[in-house]
Amino acid sequence: MNSVHVPLYRLAHSRTGDKGNVSNISVIAWQPFIYPVLLEQLSAECIHSWFSYRSPEHVDRYVLPQLHAMNFVLHQALDGGVNAALNLDAHGKSLSFHLLNLPVLVPQDWLSILPDIKADPAVHFA
């Protein structure tokens, strides 16, 4: 069977939160059949590596199989926390957007059933 990489946003959505210098990022599969692929590939080590530019001290992963979800806790990854950091873009939604670009390997035949984001040809950016 052939496999291809797709961005995580085609497999899941995400929510984030932060408290002090800790960021929580949840990943929720769009469909239950996707969850085993996420469990296999989205390890704490994988997430730590993906966010290496933030230099997290460590990453914890909590699995929520009933919800087809998992939560990642990135410790010491927010430049001291929202009130201490000079870079507000390092917090909240921007981290989940970054995570949703993570490439995930899936069977090629999934391409036709996974949601995708297509650019609207009617929208023009100056």
Would you kindly state where each structural domain of the chain is located, as residue ranges? 3-110
The string of pLDDT tens digits covering residues 9-19 is 999 999 987 77
Kindly report, residue by residue over 27-76, the tens digit of the pLDDT: 999 999 999 999 999 999 999 999 888 878 899 999 999 999 999 998 86
Q: In what order do the strands lie in the sheet with 12-19?
A: 12-19, 22-29, 69-75, 58-64
**pLDDT of amino acid 91:** 57
pLDDT band at 104 (very low <50, low <70, confident <90, very high): very high
